[in-house]
Structures are given as structure tokens and as C-alpha cells.
Amino acid sequence: MRPGGGEDEEDAENIPWKVNWVFKPVGTTPEVGQVMVNHYNALVKRRNSELQDIQQFAARWTENAWRLALVFHAVKNGRGAWQEYIELETCEAALQVMEWFANAQMDLLSRGRDEKLDAEVDKLYEIVREKGGRLTAGVLKNNHYFEAAELKQLVERSKGRLRIEQLRKSFAVVAV
């Protein structure tokens, strides 16, 4: 430091906001890419069923696993990380950390989530019962703003009070 409190020129290279960063792409093997694609696809299925009400969180889990994999790769390989492919082991470690995070996030959300879902099941049950005991997914979407994935999640959670009746191109919700 200079007497006036400024920084010396030679210190500039060690100050992160003064470094001229050069960003370089980091590659993966097809195997690593496929593992991440499989993880994403499995989450899409879950987001359309049991994670429907928190899908905005689950939608980021694979994306965050990629970020973790890149950080782990950089820590492991240092300044030359861009010259090496991300290894499968690194990818799997990132997915394990992301799985831990996802479980912790679901635990945090569970109390409010359970109460909200139970209230939605009761609401759906009352609507269907009051309208004759059977409503199509289209009517429930257009008149009551329930999406198909949400309906399936609520019926699954209804403890037998509601069931799905498969139609030719859609389905109906039936109060039992």
C-alpha cells in the first residue's frame, strides 16, 4: 500500500476485480454429458408428478449440478482445468452434492408444502363433488385453473377420495 492508501501496481494482479480474466470453455466426455442429460430427464418426469408444486426449484437442480461439477473440476485441475475434460467421477460427486441439497431444500419446504397440498386436495374434492362427482381435466383447467400435472399430483395425494378416469384424449377427475 502507498502512504495515501492506494494499491501498488504489482498488487493489481492479485486483486480479483482488477484481473483481466480470460474465460475458456471446459469440455466433457459424451459419457458425462449423457449422465447429466439422464439426470435432467428424470427430473422432468418428477416435475410433472410429485414435484409439480415445487418444479421451479427442481428445474434448477441439474443446472446447479453442472456448476458444481465445473467448480470441482477447477479445484482439482487448477489453472489448466480448461485443458482437461470434466471426469465422470467429478460429475457424479457434483450430482451427489446436488442430491443432498435437493433433499434439504424439500425438507425445508415440506411443512408449508404439505399444508398447501392438503388444502388443494380438499378444494378439488369439493369442486368435483359439487359439480356432480366427475369433471374433465379441461373443465378443471378452464374454469378452476388446475393444470393436468397438478391434478394428477392432487389425486395421488387424496388418499382415495379422488381418482383419475382415463378418457380417449384426456382424463376426468372423479370423487369417490
pTM above 0.85, yes or no: no
Please tell me whether residue 20 adopts helix, strand or coil conformation: coil
pLDDT digits (tens, 9 = 90+) for 133-173: 999 999 999 999 999 989 999 999 999 999 999 999 999 99
CA distances from 65 to 77, 116, 168 (A): 18, 29, 39
CA gyration radius, the chain? 25
pLDDT digits (tens, 9 = 90+) for 53-103: 899 999 999 999 999 999 999 999 998 999 999 999 999 999 999 999 999
